[in-house]
Structure 1
Amino acid sequence: MTGGPVAIVDCGTNTIRLLIAESDGRGGLRELDRRMEIVRLGQGVDATGSFLPEALQRTFAATERYAGVITEHGVDLERIRFVATSASRDVSNREEFFAGISTRLGVIPQVITGDEEARLSFAGALSGANEPAGPVLVTDIGGGSTELIIGNAAGEPSRGISLDIGSVRITERFWSADPPTVDDRARATRLIDELLDDSGIAFSEVRTWIGVAGTLTTLAAIDLDLADYDRTLVHGHRVGRDRVTAIAAALAASSSEQIRGRNGVHPQRADVITAGALIAGRIGSRLMVDALIVSESDILDGAALDLLRAAGAGQGA
């Protein structure tokens, strides 16, 4: 590989995100561009087992826009990586998705395992952390899955797991009303608790809790009461563990229309943030830490670091 920036596209159940970055010369990243669009690729996947045509078209349109940005930054084709996560693992029309992305971006999507997603999320989160105490738990609540990774403060994960619970999946599977009923929440909580209890994560040993990705950055934005999202304020913000539970309860008592009018909530996330917050609250209830530390560094950063290191190794060969 030649030198220059790398481009990472992360396509999950709810969002498609882009990071263009280059090496900072010290083993880290210098961000050149970062973008996010909510495309809801995983719409209906839990029920149908396939991507809906309208979800594919939204995702393809966003990919075309990202391709233009990547071209503007002069990123070489071999330095572009398209990472597809939870929604793309088991769908019946995955090849249609692959073909659409390859046509627009020039690279074939890489559907990573839950373990790989966890590893990259941990690496990304720790790259933006300020000397956390170990053991560290990194939590990534996505639309279709939740990644839990525990490791030391040096960035070495010791245990990671991907659970089939996410903001979109829980909403589509359990919510029968808006806002969800007490019974809806109780049934969702039983599943979440069952999966967390069987996860093998030693929650009681955790000394630092770091949260990444849209659900948890939204909780930080709600806590900060941000009329306009500001990632510089969100990054590193501490949300008290009890405050996470309180926000989850307030969201559960609100309709999606009421939530859409709240500061800190992206309008297209309003109908699923209640489920994401419920998952966060159930995780927090198992921890002894004072607060959730929210990070804007996540799987995108981890994948970019991986690609830059691979490029460096290739140049040194």
Structure 2
Amino acid sequence: MTRVAAIDCGTNTIRLLVADAIREQRTGTVRLHPLHRSSTIVRLGQGVDRTGRLDADALARTLQVVHEYARTCADLDVPLDAGHARFVATSATRDAENRDEFVDGVRAALGIVPEVVSGQEEARLSFAGSLLGSGGGAAATDAQGGDAADADDGERPGGHPALPGPRLVVDLGGGSTELVLGVDAPQAACSMNTGSVRITERYLADGVTPAAEDAARAEVRGLLDRAADAVDLGAATRLVGLAGTISTVTAHALGLDAFDRDVIDGAELSVERVLASCDAIVHSTAAQRESWGYLLPGRRDVIAAGALVWSEVVARVAADTAVAGQPLTTTVTSLSDILDGIAASLASAGEAA
């Protein structure tokens, strides 16, 4: 057993997972037993799309949370070294010309060097993480592969999914959206420079007007056209959505009063229901967003943009699969995502060391 700490720092949110990771000797299957999860909206990517730089206040907010995470790791006896801790920074940091300021700050706080990963690596980790939860299917596998195993006591197992064909995993973040197609490993992947924060700052900062919505949808559709050259969207037999926007849409579609992990994780919804909730969220009022107990304050101003992006992805996949003769009629939400993928990758590395 290896105790690991995984940190995912995106455009809008930074998250920590501390888990005991167990790799079964016979199968190589990785199991995660979560001990602690933290999630804080810091908006690291504030203004990056416009300026190409990380904002000083956003840097300060984020590094303050990194110091808190360092204390949590110490309290939970996680060694802060490369074999036990991994810090992954994604879209906002990739795009920022002053990313070294952030890298130096994280190194000073944690003692490890954060990885500013490519869109392809982000996609790979997201796919691996998605397979570790109930949203991944009846059984799932981490990047190492392995046979199915039962889960109890909150553990996340890994194993080969019994699926008729490839799944399309969509990780919809603040600055980028990853599309990954595969069965138990990625076969094709694409990272699109679009997400809830980026679309908000480009088009919806002053509200959702018809002209702004049309322009935002046109951009996302153009990106999907290019993504389809790299990833065969029509080949998907299962559409799995990850991250905060999609869990929010799912909570809305289910009519929840508050965020409920057990209900949201693995929830399967019809395409029509998803698109209806996306439309309601895109055109919601500030008062409505404030009334939704599952929607954090730091996500209220960008959720319309996120729902817009998700609606375009869902509609495009439904259309492409219909043309291919195997229409996809539902979506699945997974709360196991890139964070779990980071932890699983650490578990393998840590136990092999």
Name the TM-score class by shorter chain. Answer: over 0.9
Of residues 154, 161, 180, the one that matches 1:149 is 180
Partner of 1:10: 8
Flag structure 1 segments of 5+ consecutive residues without an equivalent.
none
For 1:20, give the aligned amino acid.
Answer: V
After the TM superposition, which residues 106-121 of structure 1 pair with which residues of structure 2 at under 5 Å, given as runs?
Answer: 106-121=111-126
Of residues 300, 304, 315, the one that matches 1:270 is 300
After the TM superposition, which residues 1-317 of structure 1 pair with which residues of structure 2 at under 5 Å, given as runs?
Answer: 4-26=2-24, 27=29, 28-78=31-81, 79-128=84-133, 129-131=136-138, 132-152=163-183, 155-178=184-207, 180-199=208-227, 200=229, 201-286=231-316, 287=318, 288-314=327-353
Contact 1:221 1:263 in 2 (8 A): no
Question: In the TM superposition, what is the alpha-carbon distance from 1:254 to its structure 2 partner?
Answer: 1.9
**SS at structure 1 position matched to 2:74:** helix
Flag structure 2 segments of 5+ consecutive residues without an equivalent.
139-162, 319-326
Partner of 2:156: none
**SS at structure 1 position matched to 2:178:** strand
| Normalised TM-score (structure 2) | 0.84
Mapped partners of 1:133, 1:71: distance in 2: 44
**SS at structure 2 position matched to 1:150:** strand
Mapped partners of 1:313, 1:176: distance in 2: 48
**SS at structure 2 position matched to 1:6:** strand
For 2:170, give the aligned amino acid.
Answer: T
Question: In the TM superposition, what is the alpha-carbon distance from 1:312 to its structure 2 partner?
Answer: 2.0
| Normalised TM-score (structure 1) | 0.94
- Please say which of residues 86-95 and 260-269 is displaced more in the overlay: 260-269
Mapped partners of 1:106, 1:224: distance in 2: 42
Equivalenced residues, count: 309
**SS at structure 2 position matched to 1:198:** helix
**SS at structure 2 position matched to 1:269:** helix
Could you tell me the percent identity over the aligned residues?
Answer: 42
Question: In the TM superposition, what is the alpha-carbon distance from 1:175 to its structure 2 partner?
Answer: 1.4
**SS at structure 2 position matched to 1:77:** coil
- Pick closer, same or farther for the CA change 1:279–1:91 going to 2, 3 Å: same
Question: In the TM superposition, what is the alpha-carbon distance from 1:186 to its structure 2 partner?
Answer: 0.5
For 1:97, give the aligned amino acid.
Answer: F
Contact 1:133 1:208 in 2 (8 A): no
**SS at structure 2 position matched to 1:191:** helix
**SS at structure 1 position matched to 2:129:** helix
For 1:113, give the aligned amino acid.
Answer: S
Contact 2:23 2:347 in 1 (8 A): no
**SS at structure 2 position matched to 1:159:** strand
For 2:172, give the aligned amino acid.
Answer: I
Contact 2:123 2:189 in 1 (8 A): yes
Question: In the TM superposition, what is the alpha-carbon distance from 1:224 to its structure 2 partner?
Answer: 2.5
Mapped partners of 1:189, 1:16: distance in 2: 27
For 2:251, give the aligned amino acid.
Answer: A
For 2:90, give the aligned amino acid.
Answer: T
Mapped partners of 1:120, 1:77: distance in 2: 21
Mapped partners of 2:346, 2:217: distance in 1: 38
- Please say which of residues 271-280 and 215-224 is displaced more in the overlay: 215-224
Question: In the TM superposition, what is the alpha-carbon distance from 1:177 to its structure 2 partner?
Answer: 2.5
